[in-house]
Amino acid sequence: MTLALILLLLLPSISWAWSGKVVGVTDGHTITVLQEGEPEKIRLFGIDCLEKRQAFGTRAKQATSALVFGKVMGVEPLAVDRYGRTVALVTMGATLVNQELVRQGLAWVYPQYCKRPICGERKHLEAEAREARRGLWVDPQAVPPWEFRRQRRK
């Protein structure tokens, strides 16, 4: 009985995280990581980088590449999106890549999907980047990527 209680208490803290080498960067928020030798598309949780056709879209991809390409990263899966990508937190040591891109002013917090407690810290980092006019925030009229995509579909 005691062992079962201990397991129940520990179960929520068990993570299905894994690590793998980053072998591709599609854009600022999508990477490919090898999991047991197989490529897996990863969508960085809770952020949205500018599209390639937007100012700073290419810069976001370059920053993501500099942070992760060719390196072994920790991947903590949270969900699978409608495109079949694993939505995850991605870390290298103590650095959470998702947050680092927001801190650098190269990603927006994605309010539609970022509803976990960690998102509060990201919103603070986004506000700091905006105030410091880092990255995309040099443009006071920057268009969020989700709005840019919606406009392009029309």
Instruction: Cite the active site residues.
Output: 43, 51, 85
Distances (CA, A) of 108 to 77, 80, 96: 20, 20, 15
How many Cα atoms within 13 Å fall on the side-chain side of residue 137? 18
Distance (Å, whole) CA 79 – CA 84: 10
- Residue positions counted in the chain: 154
Distance (Å, whole) CA 107 – CA 105: 6
| Contact (Cβ atoms closer than 8 angstroms) between residue 61 and residue 96 | no
Distances (CA, A) of 119 to 7, 30, 57, 113, 132: 29, 18, 22, 10, 20
